[in-house]
Amino acid sequence: MLNPNHRILIVDDNPAIHEDFRKILCPARPGKTEVQNLKAALFDTAASVPTTIQFELVSACQGQEALALVSRSVAENRPFAMAFLDVRMPPGWDGVETAARLWQVNPHLQIVICSAYSDYSWDQMRSRLDQPDSLVILKKPFDNIEVQQLAHAMTKKWLLSQQARLRLSELEQMVSERTQDLQKANESLTLSEERFSKAFHESPLASGIQRLSDQRFVDVNQSLAKIAGFKREDLIGRSPAELFLWQTPDLADQWIEALLRGEPVRDRGVNIRTQDDSLHEVLVSCSLMAFSSEPHVLLLAQDVAERALLERQLRQAQKMEAIGQLAAGVAHDFNNILTVIQGHAGLMERSLAEGKPSSKSLEQISKASVRAATLIRQLLMFSRKQVMQFRYLDINDTLNNAIKMLERLVGEHVQLKFSPQLNIPAIYADASMIDQIAMNLAVNARDAMPDGGHVSIVTSLEQIHRAPTPMDPQQRDGDFVCLTFTDTGAGMDTQILGRIFEPFFTTKPVGKGTGLGLSTVFGIVRAHQGWLEVESRPNQGTTFRLYFPASKQVAEKTEPVVETSICTGHETVLVAEDEDALREMVVNVLRIQGYTVLEAASGAQALELWHKSDRPIDLLLTDMVMPGGIMGRELAECLLDQSPSLKVIYTSGYSPGMAGNDATPFKGRNFLPKPYSIDKLAQFVRECLDASSTN
């Protein structure tokens, strides 16, 4: 709240004029207060408070002096409300110039210019002064009442103008604050709209906005356009019915009806019909929303095609795992049985003269047992439960050794071409598994080209940097050796491609295939920490690309193991095998070859025989899994502690994971997997005994 301001500046070069203003505006009235007090006491009334305004007058004789007083009053925050200026004040500034200079310091000062002459007309003063609203002309000689009225009116005007300016400033502040609030609200709204727009258009979730009235799209994001196979511009302004977007249009009508009833629409399965007339599986969710007071529908379509693929792959993996567990579970007993069959068939073949009818039967028995062993091995390989013997090898050398065999497999009507990349890094792999891959892919290519064709085998070094894929859920970075197998056969459609790695799935006639060839390849590649890719189209052939991690190690030079005729010996061999029929066959074969054989049905019995033996034992042939608490490895370690020169051969029909720690793959040649032939057994024993280094 502003207080009244009665400070008045008198500017005149005549001191008498100053005194006249003081008499008019500040008259002395002695005794008046006493009289009022006496009157109040006499008539018993309250003394009246004088209402006369007391003006504060300050005098200046020249304009420069007045300017100094006004400047100081402003600095002290005690400004003058008005000033009476004489128009002529020689030798300094006249009243008009003084007024102009005073307003520069205090633009709110009310000024009265007193003049007895017509030095300036009113128009001239207005032209020289910019504030005519704060200016009054008083003609000399002036009337006392007129001066008092001007003093009261001008000081009151100063107060009212100050109050108006203060109120105007408050209003401006309010307007500024409201404007800032509105700007912030607009900025927040703009930011919110921008965020929604970015979230909508950049979201990987397919989204669209439809008018409820006609279901036309008013906006769609790129994800929805991509799934539908359209450009965004082609979708906007058109309804799903016009685009034939839904495979089942009635479902879209049901969603709208549910929304109008206030029911949620969430994860409704439907197929989008793309522009090329293919179907894409999505889960649709809808909700009502308003834009510009008009109801709209926000449509979200979650692409589940990849998820469905992953689910199928998961079921496939679970199926393969189940079959693998089944195969691993029966492998031990089945391989023991096959070893006995192969062994006794081999012994009988050697005891019979060639050409006898029974020799043909034994030959068929041997072939059948080999086929059964191969089937078990394939089951274990595709489920990655086959015992493997890894070493650093040159894939080019391995494939070069297998080329002749592959040429015999595919036949003369198929042209086989091998194009190896020179100086390729080594891979950490099992050579027999690489041979198995080549055989299975070659047979697969041959069967796809009954009228002949071409098979190309290429090795290359590739640098890979890619994210996980449905076929290979690992991120891959680094160097990989790629084995590419291409044929010019019949090719496959997408439906068959989705199932080629399923165990027992085959497109071949009954009796022409087991359905384990490609699933075996898949299992071997995964067991080597690699992955494979396949491309195929009907009548355009098939290409398999198999990737193996490249190693910085130098490839090991290994000589191929060649089965020779049964080798003899005279050393002492301890055989530890819990399967009676198998142990009997092994002991019989070794004794025929001249070895002294001690046999034990468990690890504990083998230890007992070791301590009771009256002659040194040269070789331990032990099954890896035996009853009685002592496994094959424990037995071997115990005996090696007592005789470091002891040679050891491990044998097992189990797969890793089914035989505990004793099923660790062996890099050396002291592991003999079941089933095995009597020739292989004899050769393995002889080579182990002849080896210069200990196990």
The pLDDT value recorded for residue 112 is: 92
Q: Does residue 660 come out as left (phi exceeding 0), alpha (psi in the -120 to 50 range) or beta? A: left
The pLDDT value recorded for residue 477 is: 92
Cα dihedral across residues 508, 513, 518, 519: positive or negative: positive
- Angle at the Cα of 450 (from 446 to 454), degrees rounded to 5? 55
Cα dihedral across residues 677, 683, 689, 691: positive or negative: negative
The pLDDT of residue 668 is above 50: no
Query: Averaging pLDDT over each range in 43-47, 64-68, 128-132, 499-503, which range is the top one?
Result: 64-68
The pLDDT of residue 658 is above 50: no
* Backbone phi, psi, residue 650, to 5°: -95, 145
**Fold annotation for 7-166:** Rossmann fold (3.40.50)
Q: Which residues contact 380 (CB under 8 A, 6 or more apart)?
A: 324, 327, 328, 331, 386, 655
The pLDDT value recorded for residue 342 is: 76
Give the architecture-level CATH label for domain 572-690.
3-Layer(aba) Sandwich (3.40)
Q: Which residues contact 263 (CB under 8 A, 6 or more apart)?
A: none
CA proximity to 431, closest of 564, 556, 526? 556
Asked if the domains at 7-166 and 572-690 fall in one CATH topology, the answer is yes
Q: Which residues pair with 118 in a beta bridge?
A: none
- Give helix 517-527 / helix 305-351 axis angle, nearest 10°: 100
Q: How many CB atoms lie within 10 A of CB 521?
A: 27
The pLDDT of residue 447 is above 50: yes
Q: What is the pLDDT of residues 560-569, one digit of tens each?
A: 545 455 578 8
The pLDDT value recorded for residue 309 is: 66
Q: Which residues pair with 650 in a beta bridge?
A: 622, 671
The pLDDT value recorded for residue 531 is: 92
The pLDDT value recorded for residue 695 is: 43
Cα dihedral across residues 373, 374, 375, 380: positive or negative: positive
Percent of the chain at pLDDT above 70?
Answer: 83
Task: Note the CATH number of domain 203-303.
Answer: 3.30.450.20
Decide: helix, strand or coil at residue 473.
Answer: coil
> Distance between CA 61 and CA 426 in Å, rounded?
112
> Distance between CA 621 and CA 654 in Å, rounded?
16
The pLDDT of residue 352 is above 70: no
The pLDDT of residue 484 is above 90: yes
> Distance between CA 269 and CA 285 in Å, rounded?
9
- Give helix 603-612 / helix 632-642 axis angle, nearest 10°: 20
CA proximity to 462, closest of 556, 546, 522? 546
Query: What homologous superfamily is domain 395-549 in, according to CATH?
Result: Histidine kinase-like ATPase, C-terminal domain (3.30.565.10)
Q: What is the domain partition of the chain in residue ranges?
A: 7-166, 203-303, 395-549, 572-690
More confidently predicted of 87 and 668: 87
The pLDDT of residue 39 is above 90: no
Token pair in block for residue 619: 């070789």
> Distance between CA 355 and CA 363 in Å, rounded?
11
Q: What is the pLDDT of residues 362-418, one digit of tens each?
A: 777 877 777 777 666 666 655 555 556 788 999 999 999 888 888 888 888 899 999
The pLDDT value recorded for residue 80 is: 95
Least reliable range by pLDDT among 38-47, 100-109, 636-645:
38-47
Beta pairing class for 619-623 and 572-576: parallel
Instruction: Report the helix count and the strand count for the chain, using DSSP H and E.
Output: 20, 22
Residue type, 679: D
> Distance between CA 80 and CA 71 in Å, rounded?
10
Percent of the chain at pLDDT above 90?
Answer: 33
Q: What is the pLDDT of residues 259-305, one digit of tens each?
A: 999 999 998 988 888 888 888 889 999 999 888 789 999 999 888 87
The one-character DSSP state at 71 is H
> Distance between CA 613 and CA 607 in Å, rounded?
10
Per the CB < 8 A criterion, the answer to whether 527 and 384 are in contact is yes
Over 237-264, what HEC string results? CCCHHHHCCECCHHHHHHHHHHHHCCCC
Peptide bond into 616 cis (omega under 30): no
The pLDDT value recorded for residue 430 is: 86
pTM of this structure: 0.45
- Angle at the Cα of 163 (from 160 to 166), degrees rounded to 5? 150
> Distance between CA 50 and CA 34 in Å, rounded?
12
